Amino acid sequence: MSYPHDRKYTETHEWVHLDDDEAIIGITEYASEQLGELVYIELPEVGDRIEAGNECGVVESVKAASDLTAPISGEVTEVNNAAVNDPKQVNDDPHGSGWLLKVKPDDPGEMDDLHEADAYEELLGED
């Protein structure tokens, strides 16, 4: 697997990409493959606050459920309803159209504590 270098990654397999003053959050291809076919996604509402390191949603597959952990803190500005209504989009394109949330970050500097793509791949034992 190859991970896009324009975003940061967490040890709990979420990614975050800063686009101007908005952060886009999703789960990694690794997480998607480990979970298998997703059947249900629960996300916060627009206007809700998420806190870095805390649970901010749930993704469920036919074999497991997993908490979504916020990589950064901020206010939810958009939820990917297309992915909520058709979770297979996350499996098909986890780093693209399968994004989950958009957030107005409290402090974009929080991303400095997250992994670059190469370090995330090392964490997974991939080269």
The pLDDT of 24-39, averaged and rounded, is 96
- When pLDDT is cut at 50, 70 and 90, the band that residue 1 belongs to is confident
Task: State the pLDDT at residue 2.
Answer: 78
Which tens digit of pLDDT belongs to each residue from 60-113? 999 899 999 999 999 999 999 999 999 999 999 999 999 999 999 999 999 999
pTM of the model as a whole:
0.95
Pairing of β 22-27 and β 49-50: unpaired
Among all chains, which residue has been given the structure tokens 């107005």? 104
> 97: which residues sit within 8 A by CB, 6+ positions away?
82, 83, 89
Query: What are the structural domains, with CATH classification, of the chain?
Result: 8-124 (2.40.50.100)
The per-residue pLDDT for range 50-70, each reduced to its tens digit, is 999 999 999 999 989 999 999
